[in-house]
Amino acid sequence: MVQYKRYVDASFAALSDATRRGILERLGRSDASITDLAGEFQMTLTGMKKHVGVLERTGLVTTEKVGRVRTCRLGPRRLEAEAAWIESYRRLWEARFDELDKIVADLKRTDASLHDKNPK
């Protein structure tokens, strides 16, 4: 469980940055070199390498160097564990809101019946 938590934590940490989410979105359309990504995101090569490195450590991106060009593509990870974690909390909150809806409905019925018994 602890290892799973670290894995998910690393993914969420990587995804917490808007630039890294943008990189994933961009690579979802097609592979790109570090230079291409740096230009698209108006960033230095060093800055882009750091962002790509974070994504690469989580398995969300892979890179391949051919000559002087390092090409980035989406990695093998598909965020299943992270999606399952989010889904478990979505179900939890949905159940809590359903219960809250029942309480509000009961209060409205009680309030309506009190008004019916005590007309003004």
Question: In whole angstroms, what is the distance from residue 91 CA to residue 82 CA?
Answer: 14
Task: For residue 74, list its beta bridge partners.
Answer: 61
Question: What's the mean pLDDT when you consider all of the chain?
Answer: 91
**Mean pLDDT for the stretch of residues 72-84:** 90
Whether the pTM exceeds 0.85: the reply is no
Residue recorded with tokens 């570090």 = 34
Mind listing the pLDDT tens digit for each residue in 79-90?
888 899 899 999
User: What's the sign of the alpha-carbon dihedral 88, 92, 94, 98?
Assistant: positive
Q: What is the pLDDT of residue 81?
A: 86
